[in-house]
Structure 1
Amino acid sequence: MYIHTTASWPAREDRRAALVWLAIFWIFVGVGFGFDLHNYLREQPPVPKIVHVHAIATTIWLLTATALVLMVETGNVRFHRRFGWFAAGYAALILVIAPWSELSWQALNLQTPGALPPQFLSIAFSGVICMAVLLPWGILMRRNSAAHRRVLILATICISDAGFSRLVGLFRPAPTSFLGTYLFYEGGNLLLIVLMLLWDWKRNRIMKQFLWGAFLVVAVGLSATGLYFNETWKSITRSWLENWARHML
């Protein structure tokens, strides 16, 4: 098996695959959040306004990322390049709103029975951390279209954990073991990475940049899960949320 750094195949042969990965991602998000919408709108205490802003902003970001893929698929490469800079700037806004939203939501529910525990922040932030690394890296590789495409797909799907966990949560409660917790929240990322890897392996198109990006997503997810079970991290995050509730809500 040869690991590529640049593509030796026509760019158009990669395009349909990107649509497939985004379609699976949208299933996770659409079904997971769709079935959870009833609970979301009736939460007590009501969710902070920043959470609504985050939901709308993230949806726009995902639609933007999908539009960028469709532009390439339909041959509008020039517009894709121009619109891509807007998308990159907008994504930077998501990287601010997402942790702000999570901190506000969890701080508000710090004493609410059945709410997510403070240490869940590690898992909640894992996708944002991956996106913050993969997005600029993918942009820097824009002249290497095959690597650019794969890394930016990873940057998009790495935030699938929220939708995937809600989808799985329709059938079973959150596990309490390390492996179960990792698969419950990060299993969507892992599934998409495995599918992407198998797709490229079958066609002898595995790229070094994809392997590094995939390694980052998996490593951050495993580290976040490890922190979730760490007593010191539990104390730190509780202190963070108490201070956030005191000064930011």
Structure 2
Amino acid sequence: MVVLLTGSVVLGFARSYYFAGFVHAPLPSRMIHVHGVIFSLWFVVLLVQTFLIPAGRVRWHRKLGLVSYGVAALVVLFGVLAAIDSLRRGVGIGSFDLSVSFAISIMDMVAFGIVIFSSYRARHRPSAHKRLVLYATLSLMDAAFDRWPYEQMRMHFSAHTYVYFGFLFFPGFYDLVSTRRIQKSTLWAFLLIATLYEVRIPMGSTHLWHLLSHAVAE
């Protein structure tokens, strides 16, 4: 799953970021550059952490865990700062207005923050820990899936929703096949992320959120 998610990120941002020179990519602001570096660093650390376990380097995995959670904190911080930067520059997500776009970005950070913090608390319970880390990462994937080259793949853009939820459902399917029941960590993390995914657009359309967005943009 980690390899698939990392590949999905590269596929989504290949043209605009990774193959466009990475640090030299023509991004709209310095904040978005920093956000891109931190976001990418999370996947590098995640890959390393994932492969340390089957390699038998559990002690290294635990030591690097402190660095991993430091990177996770930066993901949240710079994710929020990047959302504010886009709001102030008047750049929305797709056809959504600025308030809704801001809500989408913030809710992604809320989902990631809650689940990744829960994974830290479950670090001594490997079964729950690895599922929560995976779901925390899945909560970040919306932007990457939105940028897949759907036209070249002869698919309609609406397919991104099915792709996203397909990934969200997969750990539950794995649980059913491997343990014949859905683990509690899988269930609640899925429900949280799916709920925030569904409520962020209606929330971003409310008068109160418009007032908040306007205040932040000033």
TM-score calculated relative to the size of structure 2: 0.84
Pair 1:81 & 2:62 matched:
yes
Pair 1:49 & 2:46 matched:
no
Question: In 1, are the aligned partners of 2:102 and 2:213 still within 8 Å (CA)?
Answer: no
Q: Structure 1 residues 54 and 84, CA, compared in 2 at 3 Å: closer, same or farther?
A: same
The corresponding residue for 1:65 is: 46
- Of 129, 144, 159 in structure 1, the residue corresponding to residue 140 of structure 2 is 159
Pair 1:139 & 2:120 matched:
yes
Question: In 2, are the aligned partners of 1:36 and 1:166 still within 8 Å (CA)?
Answer: no
The corresponding residue for 1:93 is: 74
The corresponding residue for 1:247 is: none
Query: 1:193 is aligned with what amino acid?
Result: L
Report % sequence identity. Answer: 17
Separation (CA, whole Å) in 2 of partners of 1:105 and 1:214: 28
Name structure 1 gaps, 5 residues minimum: 1-20, 175-179, 244-249
- Of 185, 194, 209 in structure 2, the residue corresponding to residue 218 of structure 1 is 194
CA RMSD, 1 decimal: 2.6
Separation (CA, whole Å) in 2 of partners of 1:117 and 1:64: 34
Pair 1:193 & 2:168 matched:
yes
The corresponding residue for 2:5 is: 25
Separation (CA, whole Å) in 2 of partners of 1:168 and 1:208: 35
Q: Which has the larger radius of gyration?
A: 1
Query: 2:11 is aligned with what amino acid?
Result: V
TM-superposition CA deviations, 1:140-166 (whole Å, max 9, x none): 111211111101111112100110011
Within 5 A, what are the aligned runs for 1:179-190? 184=160, 187-190=162-165
TM-superposed deviation, 1:231: 4.6
Q: Structure 1 residues 121 and 73, CA, compared in 2 at 3 Å: closer, same or farther?
A: same
Question: In 1, are the aligned partners of 2:103 and 2:203 still within 8 Å (CA)?
Answer: yes
TM-superposed deviation, 1:218: 0.3
The corresponding residue for 1:227 is: 203
Separation (CA, whole Å) in 1 of partners of 2:164 and 2:107: 11
TM-score calculated relative to the size of structure 1: 0.74
- Of 14, 37, 42 in structure 2, the residue corresponding to residue 34 of structure 1 is 14
Question: In 2, are the aligned partners of 1:54 and 1:98 still within 8 Å (CA)?
Answer: yes
Separation (CA, whole Å) in 2 of partners of 1:151 and 1:24: 17
Name structure 2 gaps, 5 residues minimum: none
TM-superposed deviation, 1:62: 1.2
Pair 1:209 & 2:172 matched:
no
TM-superposed deviation, 1:35: 2.8
TM-superposition CA deviations, 1:33-86 (whole Å, max 9, x none): 113346x944xxx61101101101110111101111111121111110111011
Query: 2:198 is aligned with what amino acid?
Result: L
Separation (CA, whole Å) in 1 of partners of 2:12 and 2:143: 8
TM-superposed deviation, 1:31: 0.9
**Paired residues, number:** 208
Pair 1:128 & 2:101 matched:
no
